[in-house]
Chains A and B, each alone.
Chain A
Amino acid sequence: MINTVQFDTASLMVALPEIFLLSAIVVVLLLDLFLTKPFKQVAYYLTQLSLLITGILSFNLIGQPETIIFGYSFVLDDLASVFKVFMMAAAMVAMVYSRHYLIQHSLFKGEYFVLVMLSILGMMVMVSGYSLLTLYLGLEILSLSLYTLIAIARNRAGAIEAALKYFVLGAIASGLLLYGMSMVYGISGSLNIAEIATFANSTVLASREILVLNFGLVFLVIGIAFKLGAVPFHMWVPDVYQGSPTSVTLFISTVPKIAAVAMLVRLLVDGLGSMQPYWSDLFMVLAILSIAIGSIVALMQTNIKRMLAYSTISHVGYVLLGFVTGVITGYSSAVFYILAYVLMSLAAFGIIILLNKKGFEADLISDYKGLSKHSPWFALMMLMIMLSMAGVPPFIGFYAKLFVLQQVISSGMITVAIIAVVFAVISAYYYLQIIKSMYFEEGDKETTVNAPMDMKLVLSINAVLILVVGLFPDFWMKLALSLF
């Protein structure tokens, strides 16, 4: 039992990205106080710079041997570093899109960026958390920042409602997660993931101990399912997606999903890996329900943000399917899927933000009527995004589904695979609705694009990557496989 915390330089270096980001947050927060109106943009650029540097620092840590520091509460391995790099990249892209939205809707404030960075810090802690406490701490930093971030549009009733809903439900979920953690702690006598793993692995567990572990496990799964937005813990997703300012929706739908998957890996794969048959069964139910509800309910939506919320739910179902398999390559397929999803989701919300104007949210499917005429390039991008989400080759969404389905089938669950593809066809219908609006219908109002050049450029690269990574997915699949 080592419980002494050592703060030597070597161990601090391992947490350098987090330490840097924390310092940057303090600097931006203080600096923002003294920035006068014409220099407000500085906060934005500093945020981007901090994220970039954090990303580079994390990138440099890839390939380091697994190191556990701070008294067994913080782990650095390739999974953590690679996830952090992707989170930074996604966050930077999200910030580029957000800026346009914030300026259009007069929400551009320094606090916004500070809160985003804080939530990212929380996610980094989640990704690297190696004890129940660190994981919970990271999750709470993330969640509290997100609640506030939504409420930043304080003069919008919808946003306040979304923030409150998210807060109340999120608090319940956190409570359940904590309850589960206390059970696991109570029976195993440790907060440390590695020790929990050793305990759960030991062959001499009494049935009473297995029962308590199982009991705790159920609550852990609920907490994770809530954060991922899996059915039946998905009720907050559509409301929060729709009510939040689109830039926040964009953020919530992307980066935190990576962190939630990381938390899942830490708790269930690293910690309770030996209980895999138990949590696989739970995930199976969650996955199939998510895919089904996500696909069916989305059919009736007229609001594109709400539709994408349900689409997220069904994507989460696929991610969980990857974990259901209970094999290393299956987990890799889930990681590949979540990264592919983040790429698609960023681009999809990017398009919505692109069309935003003061007083015009562009969040109805009918707002996209005739887009292919006014803005053929971005209509084409949206076409690719939607087809990719539907799982049509040669876009990345297909290869992500292929990877997961291949794992599912090789685990002998052909029926599950059949259910999944049938719902993929059903979900294709609502993705087609967007394409129908853009291409087949004439618009009655001009949806003009007046976004700045940087946003157009990043969005184009983002969307084209969906095709390019789809054509050459080999590197990314190998990367996902190297993480476990």
Chain B
Amino acid sequence: MQNILLSLLIWLPILGGGLVIVLGNERATTARWMSLAIAILVFFMSLSLWTGFDSSTHLMQFVEKSAWITQFNINYHIGVDGISMPLIILTTFSTVLVIGAGWEVIQKRPAHYMAAFLMMEGLIVGVFSALDGILFYTFWEASLIPMLLIVGIWGGDNRIYAAIKFFLYTFLGSVFMLISLIYMYNKSGSFSILEWHNLSLTATEQAWIFWAFFMAFAVKVPMFPVHTWLPDAHVQAPTGGSVILAAIMLKMGGYGFFRFSLPITPDASLQFSDVVIVLSLIAVVYIGFVALVQRDMKKLIAYSSISHMGFVTLGVFALFLAYDSQAPEGAFLGLEGAMVQMISHGFISAAMFLVVGVLYDRLHSREISTYGGVINSMPKFTGFAVLFAMANAGLPGTSGFVGEFMVILGAVQANIWYAVLATTTLIVGAAYTLWMVKRVFWGVVTNPAVETLNDINGREFSILAILALAVLVVGLYPQPMIEVMHTSIEHLLNQALTSKL
């Protein structure tokens, strides 16, 4: 008897979403409660991944494997290690939040809205747990569909453009990945990702496969210069859509580097690490400045997301340099920092978008200039907002600090100048975040509508409080999380540094 926990985490939300659709928009209240119940149930079930996790091994756990398409030796093969497990919990956690966040705001087809998020949850858990190339690709692509609909149906005025741009961008990125998946199947006779880790590939093959993967993952992360879909999608998406997009979907790209690029094409990763590092630094520095001049709060946070995700790719690819300069701990720190940064960014970006969502629900404007002096009418809310802003700026004690600090430590070992450039983000990040806080929350009230704002209600308070707790816990005591990842990261580091040539 296989342990079917992972399958439940994938299929329960998908089937539950189907059930919610059947309930229909007419019975909206039932549909809302049912979606929340499913999301909470799935979240608690996913916690047993954590409690039942053996952090002393890098091997896959909770593995399920059964034949799917025997013609191509494609299996329904899923399992988690220390890299994917935290991301799955992040997914189930965020879904609970977005369902709560869309509770009252979404009046247009509420049941379909909730169902889309539930289905997406299942599909993304599938992405993080798939150990078969085609299964991974199937989940990867299928998760675009609910997001396309969420942006397109419930988005802002320019939603159609944003939704289609989002879809085509990511679709274009991933078809090249498909080609390399098939190529590796033809070479190895298997679609098993774990077998590919040991597949020997020549330098040329690795280079092609590396860039094919890079197209897919870089679009998703997103890295400079293929990031332009993100501000559009974020600005147009409803709050819940932005949260899932920033908190989880971007992580799929980062996860791809961990699961595919490093272990399958280690030599090409080494060869091209400079290119990726330069692109990451451009994202960190240049996009940080771009964020500074935004007038739209959501756009500002979207650009800040790109900048923060630059740390992830920086941490991943700095490992080669750090290793070259005889500093294996630096390599390790960078990689682990990237992982921590992904989780932490999941919390912070979700929180930031929810904060903007709270304001948008009240005044239907995302423009910074609409606000000013919000603290006067919404003191509780401002408390949370400032905390999250600090976390976004990387204040020690919040989760934002931990990941960035680790990556910077890794980068110092790699090349001091890279570290110096990366560190400027602490200044620029603080600048754009705090400047926004100043203009939105502090100062004098210029817009009379701001005076009439109601402070957050119990529902909003609990959502923000949960996130605040998460940000602080990871910031003050990241040890448990790092421990879970430790062995898997160590193994990955070995794989990445072992030449296949």
Contact = CB atoms under 8 A, between A and B. Distances in A.
Given A406-B182, A473-B69, A428 B168 contact: yes
Interface string A383-414: 00001000011100011001001100110001
B202 interface: no
B72 interface: yes
Contact of A440 (B145, B160, B171, B176): B160
B164 A436 contact: yes
Interface stretch (B135-143, B237-245, B285-293, B369-377): B135-143
A405 B182 contact: yes
A442 B153 CA distance: 10
A436 B182 contact: no
A64 B68 CA distance: 29
A387 B145 contact: yes
Interface in A64-96: none
A425 B71 contact: no
A429 B163 CA distance: 11
Contacts of A429: 164, 168
> Which secondary structure dominates where chain A touches chain B?
helix
B183 A414 contact: yes
A474 interface: yes
B185 A406 contact: yes
A144 interface: no
B171 A425 contact: yes
A409 B182 contact: yes
B168 A393 contact: no
A441 B161 CA distance: 12
A414 B171 CA distance: 19
Contact of A393 (B137, B153, B163, B182): B137
Contact of B179 (A399, A421, A436, A473): A421
Given A393-B142, A439-B152, A477 B71 contact: yes
B172 interface: yes
A478 interface: yes
A296 interface: no
B186 interface: yes
Classify chain A: how many residues form its interface, as a range: 20 to 34
Contacts of A376: 112
A340 to B, nearest CB: 14
> Which secondary structure dominates where chain B touches chain A?
helix
B70 interface: yes
Contacts of A405: 178-179, 182
Contacts of A421: 175-176, 178-179
Given A406-B186, A439-B152, A392 B175 contact: no
Contacts of A435: 148, 152
Interface residues of B, number: 33
A441 B159 CA distance: 10
Contacts of A414: 179, 183
B144 interface: yes
B167 interface: yes
Nearest to B177: A421
B182 A402 contact: yes
Given A393-B142, A440-B152, A440-B159, A406 B72 contact: yes
A394 B146 CA distance: 13
A205 to B, nearest CB: 34
Interface in B437-477: none
B142 A392 contact: yes
Residue of B68, B171, B175 with most partner-chain A CB within 10 A? B175
Interface string A418-447: 100110110011001001100111000000
A406 B134 CA distance: 12
A414 B205 CA distance: 12
Contacts of B419: none
Contacts of B297: none
A481 interface: yes
Contact of B138 (A394, A410, A424, A425): A394
A5 B178 CA distance: 53
B220 to A, nearest CB: 15
Contact of A394 (B112, B142, B179): B142
Nearest to B140: A393
Given A409-B186, A414-B183, A417-B179, A440 B69 contact: no
Contacts of A474: 68-71
A418 B138 contact: no
B355 interface: no
A234 B159 CA distance: 36
Interface in B47-71: 68-71
Contact of A477 (B69, B152, B171, B176): B69
A424 B171 CA distance: 9
A361 B446 CA distance: 56
Residue of B69, B160, B172 with most partner-chain A CB within 10 A? B69
Contacts of A432: 148, 164, 167-168
Contacts of B163: 436, 440
Nearest to A411: B186
Contacts of B152: 435-436, 439-440
Contacts of B178: 402, 405, 421
Contacts of B183: 409, 414
Contacts of A409: 179, 182-183, 186
A377 B454 CA distance: 40
Nearest to A429: B168
A478 B164 CA distance: 36
Contacts of A399: 69
Contacts of A422: 172, 175
Nearest to B186: A410
Nearest to B152: A440
B149 interface: yes
Given A387-B145, A405-B178, A436-B160, A425 B137 contact: no
A435 B138 CA distance: 20
A478 B67 CA distance: 14
A447 B88 CA distance: 42
Contacts of A402: 72, 134, 178, 182
Interface string A443-475: 000000000000000000000000000000110
Interface in B288-343: none
Contacts of B138: 393-394, 398
B17 to A, nearest CB: 12
Contacts of A473: 69
B71 A481 contact: yes
Contacts of B134: 402
Contacts of A425: 168, 171-172, 175
A414 B145 CA distance: 28
Contacts of B144: 392
A428 B137 contact: no
Interface in B163-209: 163-164, 167-168, 171-172, 175-176, 178-179, 182-183, 185-186
A336 B164 CA distance: 30
Contacts of A481: 71
Contacts of B172: 422, 425
Residue of A441, A473, A481 with most partner-chain B CB within 10 A? A473
A398 B72 CA distance: 14
Contacts of B182: 402, 405-406, 409, 417
- 9 closest A-B pairs by CB: A421-B175, A393-B138, A440-B152, A477-B71, A410-B186, A425-B172, A440-B160, A393-B141, A474-B69
Interface of B: 68-72, 112, 134, 137-138, 141-142, 144-145, 148-149, 152-153, 159-160, 163-164, 167-168, 171-172, 175-176, 178-179, 182-183, 185-186
Interface of A: 372, 376, 387, 392-394, 398-399, 402, 405-406, 409-410, 414, 417-418, 421-422, 424-425, 428-429, 432, 435-436, 439-441, 473-474, 477-478, 481
27 contacts: A392-B144, A392-B171, A393-B142, A394-B138, A394-B142, A398-B138, A405-B179, A405-B182, A406-B72, A409-B179, A409-B182, A414-B179, A418-B176, A421-B178, A421-B179, A422-B172, A422-B175, A424-B175, A429-B168, A432-B148, A432-B164, A439-B149, A440-B159, A440-B160, A474-B68, A474-B71, A481-B71
